[in-house]
Amino acid sequence: MTQAPATSRADRRRHDREIISLALPAFAALVAEPLFLMVDSAVVGHLGTPQLAGLAIAAALLSTAVSVFVFLAYATTAAVARRVGAGDLQAAIRQGMDGIWLALLLGAAVVALTLPAAPWLVDVFGASDTATPHAVTYLRISSLGIPAMLVVLAATGVLRGLQDTRTPLYVAIAGFTANAALSIGLVYGAGLGIAGSAWGTVIAQYGMASAYLVVVVRGARRHGASLRPDAAGIRASAQAGVPLLVRTLSLRAVLMIATAVAARLGDAEVAAHQIILSLWSLMAFALDAIAIAGQAIIGRYLGAGDAQGARQVCRRMVQWGVVSGVVLGALIVVARPLFIPLFTGDTTVQDTLLPALLVVAVSQPISGVVFVLDGVLMGAGDGLYLAWAMLLTLAVFAPVALAIPALGGGLTALWWAMTLMMSVRMATLWLRSRSGRWIVTGATR
């Protein structure tokens, strides 16, 4: 990072309070999201193996489709936070509404593509003859909820930009509860089978989107912001999201390559890889919560023209990232005898898993820095740099990972390659933060 004046103890405490007040609710909301799939899996699992297999395929397709558009949350958070920092709440909410309208347009387009293409998409995933009809049914019904899912992403970005991460937490809890009740009632009470689970998710998603819209519309009316779609504003939101879309797709490519390589290594290796990836994703929620706080706080400081404050809070969040990474790494090492048997009783998978898991533990401080700086640069609206940095990372990772099977490497080697990937990300993000080029003050970048 560019050198900032020494931060006083009072400033550090103030920054810590800001980070904690935003990060803790954000973490809880992030953890609540995967619970939707867990509930559906538990409910559908009792219908039979073909139904559960169909759910797994459809859910993978849906989560991929929605995760591609996560820029709706990231870009909206940064843009709204800047205007909040500049003291223009009317423009902040107007910017948020542009993001929500973009979400509705993208959602409608995805539904229009998914409904007719559902059988083909399921077939591409290699579904069995018995699982295919269930996967197609779940995918077609659940795809109707995609506009609501994308509105939730954009509206979450609005509230984060407004420095509010508590409302998304409350909405996530309510959505999870409604989804659980609806899934059980529609699957078993109404006898709709897997279709009931899908309809339960759709209804819950639209309920969440409606709750968010009520909050945003109230804010718009309070501050005199227009609710009508604005073509120029929607176009600007889309342009801001394109670099983050490239970044997200590059990161998804990294994870897909890693899974493909693990599959080539053998059944035990890919099973162990899936367990590690699940744990890695869980730890990412904790680190991503700090990144979300970074997006909101950095955007606000830069919008207020406080470059020094932005530097100071960036430095403090990096310290948080390092400490969080050390703690998470230590937890992996200490708790491994407890959680490994929960995932598998196969001693071959356990033996394959352990050394690779230790690599993940060692790399957690690196991950902590990466997540935090990623959030800082997103909050600064530095999406173009993030896109190029992630493309470079993919270019370094792909040949190394793909060479592992040919060179006789195993799962541990693959996770060393993943550590290399995170190290390249850290290097690119650290160099950018040190340069200070991300610090562009004002209501817009």
**Average pLDDT for 396-409:** 95
pLDDT per residue over 121-180, tens digit each? 888 877 778 889 999 999 999 999 999 999 999 999 999 999 999 999 899 889 989 999
Smallest CA-to-CA distance from 149 within 184, 186, 114, 190 is with 114
SS3 304: coil
pLDDT per residue over 213-235, tens digit each? 999 999 999 999 999 999 999 99
How many angstroms separate the first and last alpha carbons of the chain?
Answer: 19
Give the Cα separation of 152 and 171 in Å (integer).
Answer: 10
How many residues in total does the chain contain? 445
pLDDT per residue over 7-25, tens digit each? 677 778 888 888 888 888 8
Amino acid letter for position 285:
F
Question: DSSP letter at 5?
Answer: P
**Dihedral Cα 60, 61, 63, 67, nearest 10 deg:** 130
Give the Cα separation of 333 and 372 in Å (integer).
Answer: 23
For residue 49, give every residue at least 6 positions away whose Cβ sits within 8 Å of its Cβ, in sequence order, or none: none
pLDDT score of 33: 66
The pTM is what?
Answer: 0.87
**Average pLDDT for 319-331:** 94
pLDDT per residue over 366-395, tens digit each? 999 999 999 999 999 999 999 999 999 999
- The CB density around residue 335, as the number of other CB atoms within 10 Å, is 10
For the four alpha carbons of 103, 109, 111 and 117, in that order, the dihedral sign comes to: negative
Burial (0-12, 13-18, 19+ Cβ within 10 Å), 214:
exposed
Give the Cα separation of 389 and 381 in Å (integer).
Answer: 14
For residue 106, give every residue at least 6 positions away whose Cβ sits within 8 Å of its Cβ, in sequence order, or none: 69, 72, 150
SS3 345: coil
> What DSSP letter does each residue of 85-127 carry, written as one string?
HTT-HHHHHHHHHHHHHHHHHHHHHHHHHHHHHHHHHHHHTT-
**Average pLDDT for 71-82:** 92
> What DSSP letter does each residue of 192-237 carry, written as one string?
-THHHHHHHHHHHHHHHHHHHHHHHHHHHHHHT---S--HHHHHHH
